[in-house]
A and B are shown apart, each in its own frame.
Chain A
Amino acid sequence: MTAVTEEWGGLSSDTGFRSLMAETGKALQSAIRGAAGNQGSLPRFRSQRSGVSQLWRNSVRATLWLTQPAETLDFGDSVAVFDIDGLRRTPFQAYSARIDSLRDYAMQDGFNLNPESEADFWRFIQTVPDFRKGNLVLIDNGNLRAVWKNKSGDHMGLQFLGGGMLQYVIFKQRSANIRISRVSGRDTFAGLMRQINAFELESLLGK
């Protein structure tokens, strides 16, 4: 049995602690779903049991014991911080909460989130931990789509098709006097990275 453990802190109130407990549990489970995608297969394992505990006054430990091994994700310095006003989410936690909402919307509309798309999304996020958080929506084919925009008119939209493929839309305003460049297509993660470099989208993505 594999144990996956994350620790986050600090918090400022009992209410904050309860919220952090819930957020941490969800985030951890999403991380494991993403890790399963990273191994080239759909999530198959189930958690044997999970626990979230308060380590000391301002730190939380979340542990999920798995019936099958899973590769854990390294989110670098992705540490959730509680301020006096409540939880300041990491992008990872915010994505996790957003996907939960989108999953609910999909069920209300009679379709399901495509697990291959979700696995690809988490795998992509893992490969680009320094990207700022994008806006996430759910297309009616069940695929996730993330969009990054800025006030200069730059724009990148990514639909996670599953199977390691992305459908991208890129708008790039190279200068005020030049017509905006617009391209769309499908590519692998590695191919997309080459497009990002070619279109000089580093500032859009917060790298």
Chain B
Amino acid sequence: MKGDELPDQDHIVRYVKPSMVEEDGTANGADFRLRPHRPDDNGLSVNWLEVFGSDHIHQLGEVRRLSRLQLKANGRFAEMNVGKVRSEVAQELETLRIVHDPLEATAGHEADPSHAEITGLPPGDSDQALLIGDLIAECVFATHPAIVEHDR
């Protein structure tokens, strides 16, 4: 349900665009902060994988299929465990929450039940935002191609 906290044992992915993917394929922490030029944003968009069942390939396929972002060939989906992000970030920030935020269908877009948000983050242009972003990036345990051939 919208606004519910995601379970600690579950997993989320975030799309990382090519300019934020480091040369070794990892996600840079600067991508895990609110956008300073979008002050109305309250949270960081992520996708909850387990909402699509337990098959990991199917989960990622559905995230790609339903994404409303313009995915790029060199972009990556960074995967994290919800509980790990909470516990690591809690060492520096007590306000962080990871909550379900399903998107309703709109003209041209199917509903996306996997959409979720990381909220309670510091302002995007603050020094603390990058520190927290780097801390979240350290919780990434796998990255996946944003586009795979058979999805095209």
Contact = CB atoms under 8 A, between A and B. Distances in A.
Interface of A: 98, 102, 105-106, 108-109, 135-141, 145, 147, 155, 157, 159, 167, 169, 171, 179, 182-186
A167 B29 contact: no
B131 A169 contact: yes
Given A138-B19, A141-B37, A157 B134 contact: yes
A145 B131 contact: no
Nearest to A186: B127
A105 B19 contact: yes
Contacts of A140: 19, 35, 37
A169 B134 contact: yes
Nearest to A136: B23
Contacts, number: 68
B19 A159 contact: no
A137 B30 contact: yes
Contact of B127 (A98, A137, A138, A167): A167
Nearest to B25: A135
Contacts of B72: 108
Given A106-B19, A159-B130, A135 B35 contact: no
B40 interface: no
B23, B30, B35, B36 — most chain A CB neighbours (10 Å): B30
Contact of B24 (A135, A159, A179, A186): A135
Contact of A137 (B21, B35, B91, B128): B21
Nearest to B133: A169
A147 B74 CA distance: 19
Nearest to B126: A184
A181 to B, nearest CB: 11
A83 to B, nearest CB: 20
B55 to A, nearest CB: 32
